[in-house]
Structure 1
Amino acid sequence: MLHKLRRLGLTVVILQIPAQIALGAAQSYGSISSAAGVYNSSVTPENLPWNTYNYCNAPHVNAKHYQLPVNAPNATLVYMNVVLRHHKRTPDNLYPDENELNAIPWNCSDFLQFSYGGGTTAIYHETISPPWHPFLSQIWNGTCDQGQVTQEGLDDAVRHGEDFWAVYAGELDFLQTVNEHDIFIRTSTETRTFQVAGGLLTGMDPAMATKTFPVTTQPSAIDSIPPDYSCPNADNIRDAYQSVPAWTNHLEENADLQNWLCETTGTTGLTAWTSWYDHFFDTFTSRTCNGHPLPCNSTGACVSEQDAAKVFAIGDLEYNYIWNAAVNATTYTQLTFGVFFIELTHNFKLFRAGGETYKLRLFVGHDGTMIRLASLLGLGKIAPLRWPAMGSEIVIEVWQVTDGEHFVRVIHEGTPVSTLAWVPLNAFIGLLESQIPEDVFQACMGS
């Protein structure tokens, strides 16, 4: 059932998931019976709780709602690792006849796309879709590439940085200045994560807009943030649990919806679009979050808000199943994210040993980053996981009490995680280590 609330000229989608599309509702791992969320505005209306799920701009740590640890009010914050998803972008997936399905051009000329080597001319690039191009049907009109951060997404990143700084510099005085000696930033190799990192830094300190700051990446073939490294054995595990009724039943039960969507968007017979709802979820939310209409083809057939609501519900359920609830989902997630957990473990061990030189390590990744991190930290044991929203954030704080002992608190999208609200540092490191396969490379590549 779909409800709409109108406030300040915004249409906010409040989603209740119909029982008939609950993925594997009869399975022992359970299912989501209902959920609510905002899917077409970065602003959550004031009549909804501040931490309402907002796919366009996830709730995050902010001064108005931040609370000190209740376990030790006199504790001192001494170290942090923060992981977040990039902010709003254009669709990352394209329909075969993308141009036909986009009535409004995508505009990314609002800000300059700088790309240059140090010590050379500060050049920037502009994207154009020439009207004479023979393959124009495969991309929209306008000045955006696929998966590119929009001006609105960059604005959200700046505000995210402002909110972060208001807490950790303003309220807690943990950070005093934005500098590369206290703050380490790592992103994926995708341009949008660089740009969001820049937006965050500018929000923390507007003067950073005219300065340089190092951002670390790993080679794209082995990057652990998305993650991108090869793991055939993990692929086999996932293929297996997406071949059983717990998965295939939901595709069969929603065959009419899928057929309609494929017929409308010209994706009939394309496995990438019919094997799950990831691509539809991406193309619909990218449009609704950026103020674009849902797809309509040249015959006048359109994807409706009700269609989109069903896709959003199914997307949540699929993500929870793949990375959290399926039999062997934990093994799959450990294999595909074990390398990143090695990095986290290294960071916290380095801090424990007194060798850490940074106060804050900040990682900017993707939805695949956040869903794996949430699952392996155990958040899916508290409640089924949802598709990580734009700007989704997990903050890992280390606090020191008066006797010198260290405790960890994890905050997910602005709200402390109940099971990780005050964990001894050694125990938290043990939790991280427990999610790392003994030999990740051999476990991924071995026979």
Structure 2
Amino acid sequence: MRSLAAEVLFGAAGSAMALSPLETFYPPALNQTAYISNSSVGTYGGLYKASTHGPAGGKPYGIYDYCSMPHPRSQEYQEPGPVAEGSVKGKLVYLEYMQRHQRRTPYNILPGGEDQPYHCDDVRTYLYAGPSKESDFQPMPMYAQTYQDPTNPFNTGVNGTCQFPQITIGGVEDGYQHGKDLWSVYSEKLGLLPKQPNERVWFRSSDSALTQDSAGAVLRGVWPEFKGALPLHQMVTSVDTVNEGYSCDAVSATLSQLQSTDEWNEHITVTKELRKKLGSMFGATSSSWQETFDHFSDNFQARLCNGYRLPCSVSNSSECATHQMAEEVFRAGDWEWNYYWRTNPYVAKYIQVVEGLFIGELIARLKAVQEGKSSLDYSHIFIHDGDLGPILGSLGINALRWPGMASNIAFEVWKTDAKEESLYARVLYSGHPLQTIHGSLDWVPLSQLIDIISPYVPDDITSLCG
């Protein structure tokens, strides 16, 4: 049940286009709704498959790989152009690294039921608490084990041993490799990360188990021999500045505005036949399944990224989602993400109300480095696609495909021997210098980077949110 059927082996090899890894991130026609219905596009060189176990990695490494997005690793990593060419001498002095959690089970279960069981008894999600100081006892290590009781009348429509969502064994193994690769670049190659965690490193996550579990796997890869425990900072959920934690009426109001435009309605019209067909097949006719492609994309992606096949109808096993249907779903999802965070007429306000406070926190840390007052060398933050999207939008990314599993943004700050401007920034998105409306962010003055994202920090968020 965990083997991918031959007809759903989504990959760059099946595409008629010869694209470089970097090009797979930036479909030039993504702003147009015709991109969605153009079957010749396929996955635009992207990869949507992984086996149950990891670590996964697209071939060639560096392509858009939804299941396990590329990240900086020593085999491909190159220093910024001026440093590599020797025109300046530079040293990395600060790294702000933020990433989406590793791969997982779906959030959205098909309303008509799932025709495959999900199995998660090969990964343990630990759950226990203990005193912060030495005590007469230490807690019993406990982990969650999902089961189903036959006397429970509330059938979720899914057999198996998973919660939805939860990190999978492939996600854990991916995370460990992710951390090992970061160590090879930012410690062995560039000398920034310490041999053991110290007071100049800092970690944060959302309140989600997905981001917390990912942090444990990734940071173990960074420091495989470390014996202690590390603090993973989180804000109080109701005021969290990531994962839409704080209450803000302007978020839903702005979303309603951008989903009322001619462009949005055009994409709904273009996909009418596909939505109707999938809705009928899987009992997914409610507005939450029909008004965006979030739910279908999530369900299909999670299946393919963990070794499962695309779904068939529970009531009619001959009715199944096809390769071509899934590709159109994924193209529609990419179009929606690009529209949310790059091209809709309300995008500046939308980024402000959703992610502006977090962007302000990022600017504060960068300014501390700029002013020589930073207490940190390395900050690593574990968040969600809904956080990375607006951050990439604020940076002016040329085209935004849905940020896949473990998508990552590395903000590097380099100190040089230049006289007028000594601090330069470099922004890598999933291992590549970010391509933006401001040009490639491979080497820009730190002050310029701060200026680029500063307009997306609201002057008064409480007034903006009403």
TM-score (norm 2): 0.85
Determine if contact 2:112/2:284 at 8 Å carries over to the other structure.
no
1:422 to 2:440 alignment? no
| Residues 324/154 of structure 1: CA separation in 2 closer, same or farther (3 Å cut) | same
* Post-superposition CA distance 1:304-348 (Å, at most 9, x none): 111111100100001111121111122211221101011101111
Counterparts of 2:406 and 2:442, CA distance in 1? 22
Q: Shift of residue 167 of structure 1?
A: 0.3
Of 416-425 and 55-64, the range deviating more from structure 2: 416-425
Q: Shift of residue 231 of structure 1?
A: 2.1
Counterparts of 2:427 and 2:388, CA distance in 1? 14
Q: Which residue of 2 aligns with 1:286?
A: 302
Determine if contact 2:147/2:161 at 8 Å carries over to the other structure.
yes
* Post-superposition CA distance 1:230-282 (Å, at most 9, x none): 221232122112112211122122211111111111111x1110110000000
Determine if contact 2:5/2:309 at 8 Å carries over to the other structure.
no
| Residues 153/26 of structure 1: CA separation in 2 closer, same or farther (3 Å cut) | closer
Q: Which residue of 2 aligns with 1:109?
A: 121
Counterparts of 1:442 and 1:33, CA distance in 2? 47
Q: Secondary structure at the match of 1:207?
A: coil
| Residues 130/12 of structure 1: CA separation in 2 closer, same or farther (3 Å cut) | same
Q: Which residue of 1 aligns with 2:79?
A: 68
| Residues 302/174 of structure 1: CA separation in 2 closer, same or farther (3 Å cut) | same
Counterparts of 2:66 and 2:322, CA distance in 1? 18
Structure 2 matches for 1:342-421, cutoff 5 A? 342-379=360-397, 382=398, 384-403=399-418, 405-418=422-435, 419=439, 420-421=441-442
Determine if contact 1:284/1:294 at 8 Å carries over to the other structure.
yes
Counterparts of 1:131 and 1:115, CA distance in 2? 21
| Residues 441/33 of structure 1: CA separation in 2 closer, same or farther (3 Å cut) | farther
Determine if contact 2:243/2:386 at 8 Å carries over to the other structure.
yes
Q: Which residue of 2 aligns with 1:122?
A: 140
2:287 to 246, 271, 285: 271
Determine if contact 1:115/1:122 at 8 Å carries over to the other structure.
no
Counterparts of 1:415 and 1:121, CA distance in 2? 43
Q: Which residue of 1 aligns with 2:459?
A: 438
Q: Which residue of 1 aligns with 2:325?
A: 307
Counterparts of 1:442 and 1:186, CA distance in 2? 27
Of 64-73 and 306-315, the range deviating more from structure 2: 64-73
| Residues 186/33 of structure 1: CA separation in 2 closer, same or farther (3 Å cut) | farther
Counterparts of 1:255 and 1:25, CA distance in 2? 12
Q: Which amino acid aligns with 1:434?
A: P
Q: Secondary structure at the match of 1:137?
A: coil
Q: Shift of residue 78 of structure 1?
A: 0.4
Q: Shift of residue 111 of structure 1?
A: 3.0
Determine if contact 2:427/2:434 at 8 Å carries over to the other structure.
yes
Counterparts of 2:8 and 2:253, CA distance in 1? 44
Counterparts of 2:213 and 2:187, CA distance in 1? 22
* Post-superposition CA distance 1:104-147 (Å, at most 9, x none): x2222223322211234133232323141434531522221001
Q: Which residue of 1 aligns with 2:272?
A: 255
Q: Which runs of 4+ in 1 moved over 6 A?
A: none
Q: Which amino acid aligns with 2:213?
A: Q
Structure 2 matches for 1:81-92, cutoff 5 A? 81-92=96-107
* Post-superposition CA distance 1:206-228 (Å, at most 9, x none): 124x5311100011112112232
Counterparts of 2:262 and 2:151, CA distance in 1? 45
Q: Which residue of 1 aligns with 2:162?
A: 144
Q: Shift of residue 75 of structure 1?
A: 0.2
* Post-superposition CA distance 1:62-88 (Å, at most 9, x none): 101111111234200001111110010
Q: Which residue of 1 aligns with 2:213?
A: 195
Determine if contact 1:38/1:53 at 8 Å carries over to the other structure.
yes
Q: Which residue of 2 aligns with 1:242?
A: 259
Determine if contact 1:23/1:247 at 8 Å carries over to the other structure.
no
Query: Mind listing any 5+ residue stretches in structure 1 that lack a counterpart?
Result: none
Q: Secondary structure at the match of 2:155?
A: helix
1:77 to 86, 92, 99: 92
Q: Shift of residue 23 of structure 1?
A: 6.8
Of 291-300 and 394-403, the range deviating more from structure 2: 291-300
Counterparts of 1:294 and 1:273, CA distance in 2? 17
Counterparts of 2:144 and 2:155, CA distance in 1? 20
Q: Secondary structure at the match of 1:138?
A: coil
Query: Mind listing any 5+ residue stretches in structure 2 that lack a counterpart?
Result: 17-26, 132-137
Q: Which residue of 1 aligns with 2:193?
A: 175
Counterparts of 2:130 and 2:147, CA distance in 1? 29
* Post-superposition CA distance 1:351-382 (Å, at most 9, x none): 22322211101111111111111110111xx2
Counterparts of 1:16 and 1:111, CA distance in 2? 34
Give the superposed CA RMSD. 2.6
Q: Which amino acid aligns with 2:380?
A: L
Q: Which residue of 2 aligns with 1:134?
A: 152
Counterparts of 2:276 and 2:5, CA distance in 1? 30
Counterparts of 2:151 and 2:102, CA distance in 1? 30
Q: Which residue of 1 aligns with 2:241?
A: 224
State percent identity of aligned pairs: 30
| Residues 22/183 of structure 1: CA separation in 2 closer, same or farther (3 Å cut) | closer
Q: Number of residue pairs matched? A: 425
1:161 to 2:179 alignment? yes
Counterparts of 2:205 and 2:126, CA distance in 1? 17
| Residues 309/258 of structure 1: CA separation in 2 closer, same or farther (3 Å cut) | same
Determine if contact 1:258/1:274 at 8 Å carries over to the other structure.
yes
Counterparts of 2:198 and 2:112, CA distance in 1? 45
Structure 2 matches for 1:5-84, cutoff 5 A? 11-14=9-12, 24-25=32-33, 34=41, 35-41=44-50, 43-44=56-57, 46=59, 49-72=60-83, 73=86, 74-84=89-99
Of 426-435 and 170-179, the range deviating more from structure 2: 426-435
Counterparts of 1:331 and 1:368, CA distance in 2? 15
Q: Which amino acid aligns with 1:248?
A: N
